[in-house]
Amino acid sequence: MLRLLAASRARTATAHCRTFQGARRSTLTWASSGVKASSKRNGVMSRHWFRVGAAAAAAGTALSCANVVYADEPVPPFSLSESRYDQSTFMGRYRTFLQSTDVRTLFIGDDELNAAKKLVQQFKDNQVPSGTTDADLWNARRIKESILHPDNDEKINPLFRFSAFAPANIPICVWLMWPGASAVNTIIAQWFNQSYNVAVNFANRNMSNPMPFDIVAKSYALAVGTSCGIAVGLGKLMKSPRMASFGLLARFVPWAAVCSAGCVNCVFVRWNELSGISVTDETGELDLGKSAAAGKNAILKCCAARVIWTTPVLMGVPLLMAPLEKMAAFKASPRMRMGAELAFVVGLLFTVIPAALAVFPQRDSLPIAEVEADIQEKARKAGVERVYFNKGL
């Protein structure tokens, strides 16, 4: 993503190359040439924008770690069938995903997880210990759902949970943005980046349709190969002088490249779901079979979420970086530019990922008219009007 952002500005940077080189050679003579005041102003502005970038990253981190349960907020009666927050509204889903993407959940140990699982099970068995509050039960459910997969109650590897997605992208971003990287380094960095995306997509998929190891291996090769080809290929295209003839349209090439690479990665990893995923009634107790229509719906919405969280990063970072790139200090220091860009990217990732995930419910549904005939028949006999399924993330 970041390599493509940089490529979209490569032609402009080349046009000013001689100016930059002259600025470097004349650095030691700025004071005598009357440019000292301008340099001082640039230094002040540079520090200002660095603070803005750092604040963006800090704000995103704080937002992801925010305790979204306010002290004076009434605690609803605990339920295992209903979410604490209204999942029919964006804000309700957003608050739910703020909890599940909270980076602090990465540090929850097995003892705390087992205690949370035990308390939830005690609620199911009507054996809740005396003195246990609804807040205690909601917290236990939050811990359980932040760590375990909803389909099989198995632990998701901490590195591949969405609570780790933004922090894990920090070293990946540094690698992708490293100034003067060779073509080989770019390809390796993209391979690593797309491999991590494969792991996240695979760990958070719908697990009702198991994938044999050979299918997983083929899916990995297709996902990484295709998405890397798109990212690296369009990155090189952005450096071509021919792109200048496309004018404003050329600015959308990085966005298209990153979005298409992310969607291709998701589809190839989860393509087995296109043959059908389990659908149930609203309670989750009545299994109505496997629906290909639900599988397609789930993958399309997961791809849409990736487009949604990519767009603010690709559009927002250039806008924030534009004032910085006019400064002499930034023109002379690629690593300084990289540091500021990294801060903005990380801050935006922490902020937009919960919002993008919240656009669609994780436990989604379809009217029975949109699923297969055999499922419609079962649903009508049971008096069910909508089928429910785990969309995945």
* pLDDT surpassing 90 at residue 88: no
Please state at what angle helix 292-321 crosses helix 334-357, rounded to 10 degrees.
Answer: 150
| Distances in whole angstroms, Cα of residue 214 to Cα of each of 210, 217, 269, 314 | 12, 5, 12, 35
Measuring CA to CA, which residue among 310, 391, 315 is closest to residue 353? 310
For 104-122, what is each residue's pLDDT tens digit? Answer: 899 999 999 999 999 999 9
Mean per-residue pLDDT, 72-84: 83
What is the distance between the alpha carbons of residues 146 and 284, in angstroms, rounded to a whole number?
Answer: 20
* Look-up of token digits 């992801």: 64
* pLDDT surpassing 50 at residue 30: no
For 267-307, what is each residue's pLDDT tens digit? Answer: 888 888 888 889 998 888 888 999 999 999 999 999 898 88
pLDDT score for 47: 52
What is the distance between the alpha carbons of residues 282 and 81, in angstroms, rounded to a whole number?
Answer: 9
Mean per-residue pLDDT, 147-173: 86
Total domains in the chain come to 1
Q: Which contiguous run of DSSP H or E holds residue 389?
A: strand 386-390
Alpha carbon of residue 372 to chain centroid: 32
Q: With contact defined as beta carbons under 8 Å apart, do 310 and 256 qualify?
A: no
For the whole model, what pTM was predicted? Answer: 0.70
Q: With contact defined as beta carbons under 8 Å apart, do 219 and 271 qualify?
A: yes
Could you please report the per-residue DSSP string of 186-224? Answer: HHHHHHHHHHHHHHHHHHTS--SS---HHHHHHHHHHHH
What is the distance between the alpha carbons of residues 54 and 192, in angstroms, rounded to a whole number?
Answer: 26
Q: With contact defined as beta carbons under 8 Å apart, do 254 and 238 qualify?
A: yes
Could you please report the per-residue DSSP string of 268-291? Answer: HHHGGGGG-EEEE-TTS-SEEEEE
For 299-356, what is each residue's pLDDT tens digit? Answer: 999 989 888 888 887 777 777 877 877 887 777 777 787 778 888 888 888 888 888 8
Count Cβ atoms below 10 Å from residue 127 Cβ, excluding itself: 8
**Residue 65 one-letter amino acid:** C
The proportion of the chain whose per-residue pLDDT surpasses 70, expressed as a percent, equals 75
194 Cβ contact partners less than 8 Å away, ≥ 6 residues apart: 223, 224, 227, 228, 231, 261, 265
pLDDT score for 113: 93
Q: For residue 235, name the pLDDT band (cuts at 50, 70, 90).
A: low
> DSSP label at 327?
S
What is the distance between the alpha carbons of residues 153 and 9, in angstroms, rounded to a whole number?
Answer: 46
Q: How far apart are the first and last CA of the chain?
A: 20
Alpha carbon of residue 79 to chain centroid: 29
Pick the residue with more confidence: 178 or 54?
178
* pLDDT surpassing 60 at residue 72: no
Which range marks the domain in which residue 64 is found?
Answer: 2-390
**Residue 144 one-letter amino acid:** K
Pick the residue with more confidence: 46 or 328?
328
> What are the helix (H) ranges across the chain?
2-7, 10-15, 17-25, 30-33, 36-65, 90-100, 110-124, 134-147, 165-177, 183-203, 213-238, 253-270, 292-321, 328-332, 334-357, 373-381
The proportion of the chain whose per-residue pLDDT surpasses 90, expressed as a percent, equals 18
Mean per-residue pLDDT, 202-228: 78
pLDDT score for 35: 38
Please tell me which of 143-157, 169-183, 200-214, 245-259 the model is most confident about, judged by mean pLDDT. Answer: 143-157
